[in-house]
């Protein structure tokens, strides 16, 4: 029984901090530590959410849809391209890599006006900005991962007589899985970052728009609601990717840090 409690305590330790902060946040206005005109308490945020549940859901789904569309398009192009470049065309990769690095380092945000110029202010420009900001980390990590697969493994697979497809499926893909996943998670967080910004600058729906609209109309609890919702969403998304990664990569021991 005691042992179980200890285990529970260990698991819950992360939540204590949250609980303390939430309680402080909620109670602070009572003691005049913060001004509710500027800082909404958690109960006010929940209340704001309860008033407009359907609207909030629509905004959430709009934003998530946009991110996922760009993100999956980026995965579908970047992963095969990265595998090809890293594994089969090292020379092409050497030739193109500096350009890709340059593209990846360019401030995606400063390109947004250009995307509007080319693709208009509708969905297409948002799709492309997400696509653009997701594709470079995924591509570079995939290329790197495939390139760095231990050649010894490939050689030994060859010596056992594996054909190209089997080498690809059983050696290269698993070997590159970690870097690919880390590219995927960087891409996802970039995607979430960019969609909010893009929606704040020019849109008529989505969480970014919800926040900027609430701030223009000075509905303070809704600003906080939007911010918290986005944080929870991106947290969930990262968590899902991590879980997916761990369910696929079962052969690697967990390093205890």
CB of 223 to another protein, least distance (A): 5
* 85-107: burial string, b at 16+ Cβ within 10 Å, e else: bbbeeeeebeeebeebeeeeeee
Q: Figure out which of the listed residues 23, 30, 57, 102 binds another protein, where binding follows CB under 8 A.
A: 102
Among 64, 197, 205, 241, binds another protein (CB under 8 A): 197
Residues 129-168 within binding reach of another protein (CB under 8 A): none
Q: Could you tell me how many residues make up the chain?
A: 257
146 and 78 Cβ atoms separated by less than 8 Å: no
Cα 18 to the center of its chain, rounded Å: 22
Q: Does 109 bind another protein (CB under 8 A)?
A: yes
Give, as ranges, the residues between 199 and 228 that touch another protein (CB under 8 A).
200-201, 207-208, 211-212, 214-215, 220, 223-224, 226-227
Please state the separation of Cα 95 from the chain's center in Å: 29
Looking only at residues 33 through 52 of this chain, which bind another protein when binding is defined by CB under 8 A? Answer: 38-39
Phi-psi region of 230 (alpha: psi -120 to 50; beta: other; left: phi over 0): alpha
- Footprint on residues 228-257 left by another protein (CB under 8 A): 230-231, 234-235, 238, 257
Q: Are 70 and 131 in contact (CB under 8 A)?
A: yes
Q: What is the largest CA-CA distance in the chain?
A: 75
- Please identify, using beta-carbon distances, which residue of 48 and 167 lies nearer to another protein: 48
Residues that bind another protein (CB under 8 A): 13-18, 21, 38-39, 94-99, 102, 105-114, 116-118, 192-193, 196-197, 200-201, 207-208, 211-212, 214-215, 220, 223-224, 226-227, 230-231, 234-235, 238, 257
């Amino acid at each position: 029984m005691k042992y179980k409690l200890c285990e529970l305590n260990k698991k819950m330790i992360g939540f204590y901090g949250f609980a303390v902060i939430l309680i402080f946040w909620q109670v602070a206005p009572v003691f005049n530590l913060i001004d509710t005109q500027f800082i909404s308490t958690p109960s006010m945020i929940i209340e704001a959410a309860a008033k407009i549940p359907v609207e909030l859901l629509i905004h959430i789904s709009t934003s998530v849809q946009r991110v996922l569309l760009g993100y999956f398009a980026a995965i579908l192009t970047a992963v095969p391209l990265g595998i090809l470049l890293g594994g089969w065309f090292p020379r092409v990769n050497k030739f193109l890599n500096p350009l890709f690095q340059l593209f990846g380092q360019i401030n995606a945000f400063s390109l947004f006006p250009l995307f509007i110029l080319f693709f208009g202010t509708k969905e297409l420009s948002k799709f492309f900005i997400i696509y653009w900001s997701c594709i470079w980390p995924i591509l570079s990590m995939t290329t790197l991962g495939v390139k760095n697969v231990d050649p010894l493994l490939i050689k030994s697979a060859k010596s056992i007589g594996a054909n190209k497809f089997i080498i690809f499926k059983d050696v290269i893909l698993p070997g590159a899985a970690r870097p690919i996943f880390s590219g995927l998670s960087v891409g996802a967080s970039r995607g979430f970052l960019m969609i909010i910004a893009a929606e704040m600058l020019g849109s008529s729906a989505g969480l970014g728009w919800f926040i900027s609209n609430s701030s223009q109309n000075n509905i303070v609890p809704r600003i906080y609601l939007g911010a918290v919702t986005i944080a929870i969403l991106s947290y969930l998304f990262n968590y899902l990717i991590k879980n997916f990664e761990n369910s696929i990569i079962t052969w690697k021991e967990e390093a205890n840090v």
